[in-house]
Amino acid sequence: MKNLFGSFLLLILFVFGCKTNPKTISKENDKDLFSLFVEDPNTKPFYSEKKGVFAKNGMVAAAHAEASNAGIEILKMGGNAIDAAVATHFALAVVFPFAGNLGGGGFAVIRTKNGQAHTLDFREKAPLKAHRDMYLDKEGNVIQGLSLQGHLASGVPGSVDGMVEMHKKFGKLSWDKLLEPAIRLAEGGVILTEREALGLNNNLAVFKKVNGENLNYFVKTDGSKWVKGDLLIQKDLAETLKLIQLQKRAGFYEGKTAALLVDEMTKGGGIISHEDLKKYHSAWRKPIVAGYKKYKIITMPPSSSGGVALLQLLRLVEQYPLQKWGWNATNTTQVMIEAERRVYADRAKWLGDTDFIDVPIDKLISQEYLKTRWADFDSTKATDSKNIKGGTLPGYESLETTHYSVVDADGNAVSITTTLNGAYGSKVIVAGGGFLMNNEMDDFSIKSGVPNMFGLLGSKANEIQPEKRMLSSMTPTIVEKDGKLLMVVGTPGGSTIMTSVYQTILNVIEHKMTMQQAVNALKFHHQWLPDRTVFEANAFSDKTLETLRNKGYIMDQQKGTLGRMDCILVYPDGTLEGASDPRADNTSIGF
């Protein structure tokens, strides 16, 4: 299979090698689509020739080397991929406070060694006291920032319950062993990278604004700024992890930790109660399993919109010769943009928590329905997003993040995306508990027609209701070929998650890239509204940009980067290729 990728490797190295002096492209809108990731403004436009990591016995690809190490430690002890995923999750809560979490939620796609697929929804829920208009003033206008920052922005966390449920169903090692690496890192400290130090320094003011000037977390005792190489020790977080180690679910949703969390909410005007914590439970869902050419896609159903969107995106372009046209060529890019435009319109109309609404999943990903969505495509010009609405189905009426992938020697695979939503979530740090809370309430439709922090619109399907899960873009995915495990993929990135996963899968399947090349490859994104395509510097040739702009496409170069992929590819001989994104500190480790 390595030979299969050889010819494209030569091409991609040639393309990247020629881009030593990128031209400055004037922006058609000065505001970046999002600033989810911590970026150094002095960094040159990104491209990379980072190589994949190869191993035979197991692989963990995560946002931080210490988190990947935690997973590998568990695999070496005889644990399976699910055990390693749990250990990686808790380690991320320590070493990657930007998005790793106890106070957040997420989604897991699991494929066991015998090929059975399972999906776990541990997304946060709206508190019992939440209501549709809780972020609106008396005139019905959105109160800016209320769903993003502070105690009222948090949903009821699901991460700890999710990890307990995964281990209960599939775990091999004892629970207490899986918490050991995270506790060791919290007590002994983690050495900060330059990026992590920058993130903590940049958020100090807002941490103090939300938690008070006498902040005891993420600050140095001498008041100086964090620098690369500093040791971040988190004693309170270690104690919280010990309670979870001893009492599993009860160590977070009951007892001391629950009391600290509820006290913190009460102090800051939040509404999460002991009853909310007691009633929270993650949910095993029926996986979305569908074909793309000769490949089987196993992905997440709602309350994530990612799985439906991914299948729609892939199937809308399945009819076209993408490999022949070429990577990011004009024709390839045009049909991908037009697919994204229609899929994000459907997302806004149809998708929400299936415990509350009927989401017509099978119909939305059917070839018949997608054919109607493509009927107005015109290859000579860009479609105007104002003329695109969510599609019509008979009988229905409209109503920051981190990812890690794990594969073990037996072929068990886990793809997990988890989040606090924005960077460091709501910025609320639970006093005495040492963990950050999410700001996931912003992922609801705060008001119909008003975009969230990622510019995504929603409808009644995603309005706030007590105990409802807010809609997500997370897209953890596993790909099979000929009944065998092929890929484990996923990324953070808010509204860009779905398009980044989409492009990465196509890069391997259609453009014959290795896993690392597919991750390294420059990306673009369109989400229906705002009606523009954003792209990483050098993602397109000048000729392609000119052709697309002449067809009416607004092409807008980003200052930052798109995606933070952590993926694994399985070769025919069983070799694993770990591919972690060079755009940040992401690291794959195998053995």
| Closest-CA residue to 566 (of 485, 491, 474, 497) | 491
The count of other CB atoms within 10 Å of the CB of residue 116 is 9
391 pLDDT tier (thresholds 50, 70, 90): low
Residue 36: what pLDDT? 47
Q: What are phi and psi of 72, to 5 degrees?
A: -65, -40
Question: Which residues does 173 contact at the CB level (< 8 Å), separation at least 6?
Answer: 74, 77, 78, 79, 83
Assess whether pLDDT exceeds 90 at residue 584: yes
Q: What's the token pair of residue 160? A: 């700890």
Alpha-carbon torsion (577, 180, 493, 351), positive or negative? positive
Q: What's the token pair of residue 236? A: 């309170």
Assess whether pLDDT exceeds 90 at residue 191: yes
| Closest-CA residue to 353 (of 292, 295, 301) | 301
Q: Give the lowest-confidence range in 23-37, 310-324, 375-389, 402-416.
A: 23-37
Q: Do 239 and 89 form a contact (C-beta atoms < 8 A)?
A: no
Give the separation between CA 499 and CA 139, rounded to whole angstroms. 36
Task: Determine the average pLDDT of the residues in 173-185.
Answer: 98
Residue 13: what pLDDT? 39
Residue 401 is a catalytic residue: yes
Q: How many residues does the chain have?
A: 591
Q: Do 67 and 95 form a contact (C-beta atoms < 8 A)?
A: yes
Q: What are phi and psi of 547, to 5 degrees?
A: -65, -45
Q: Residues 365, 367, 368, 370: what is their CA dihedral angle, to the nearest 10 degrees?
A: 60
Per-residue pLDDT tens over the stretch 425-457: 999 999 999 999 999 999 998 887 777 777 666
Question: Which residues does 367 contact at the CB level (< 8 Å), separation at least 6?
Answer: 315
Residue 29: what pLDDT? 41
**E strand spans, 420-493:** 477-481, 484-489
Alpha helix segments (H runs only) across 476-562:
497-509, 515-520, 542-550
SS3 386: helix
Task: Determine the average pLDDT of the residues in 330-343.
Answer: 97
DSSP class of 495? G
Residue 398 is inside which H or E element, if any?
A: none
The count of other CB atoms within 10 Å of the CB of residue 432 is 16
N-terminal to C-terminal alpha carbon distance within the chain: 21
Alpha helix segments (H runs only) across 111-225:
159-170, 175-188, 194-202, 204-211
Give the separation between CA 472 and CA 454, rounded to whole angstroms. 11
458 pLDDT tier (thresholds 50, 70, 90): low
Per-residue pLDDT tens over the stretch 87-127: 999 999 999 999 999 999 999 999 999 999 999 999 999 99
* Residue found by looking up tokens 């690809």 in the block: 61
Per-residue pLDDT tens over the stretch 28-83: 443 444 444 444 444 333 458 899 999 999 999 999 999 999 999 999 999 999 99
Pick the catalytic residue from 299, 401, 499, 587. Answer: 401
Give the separation between CA 97 and CA 63, rounded to whole angstroms. 11
Residue 279 is inside which H or E element, if any?
A: helix 274-279
| Closest-CA residue to 535 (of 500, 562, 508, 563) | 562
Per-residue pLDDT tens over the stretch 566-581: 999 999 999 999 999 9
Task: Determine the average pLDDT of the residues in 471-477.
Answer: 95
CA atoms within 13 A on the CB side of 531: 13
Give the separation between CA 99 and CA 91, rounded to whole angstroms. 12
Bridge partner residues of 567 (DSSP): 579
DSSP-derived secondary structure for 210-237: HH-SS--SS--TT-PPP-TT-EE--HHH
| Closest-CA residue to 423 (of 246, 268, 200) | 200
CA atoms within 13 A on the CB side of 158: 30
The count of other CB atoms within 10 Å of the CB of residue 368 is 7
Alpha helix segments (H runs only) across 18-144:
65-76, 81-95
Residue 47: what pLDDT? 57
Assess whether pLDDT exceeds 50 at residue 27: no
Per-residue pLDDT tens over the stretch 345-362: 999 889 999 999 999 999
- Bridge-based pairing of strands 533-535 and 555-557 is parallel
Classify residue 460 by burial, with Cβ atoms within 10 Å: 0-12, 13-18, 19+. middle
Per-residue pLDDT tens over the stretch 499-543: 999 999 999 999 999 999 999 999 999 999 889 999 999 999 999
- Bridge-based pairing of strands 484-489 and 566-570 is antiparallel
Give the separation between CA 93 and CA 105, rounded to whole angstroms. 12
* Residue found by looking up tokens 């436009």 in the block: 45
Assess whether pLDDT exceeds 70 at residue 336: yes
413 pLDDT tier (thresholds 50, 70, 90): very high
Q: What are phi and psi of 305, to 5 degrees?
A: -85, -10
Q: Give the lowest-confidence range in 44-53, 196-205, 247-256.
A: 44-53
Residue 507: what pLDDT? 95
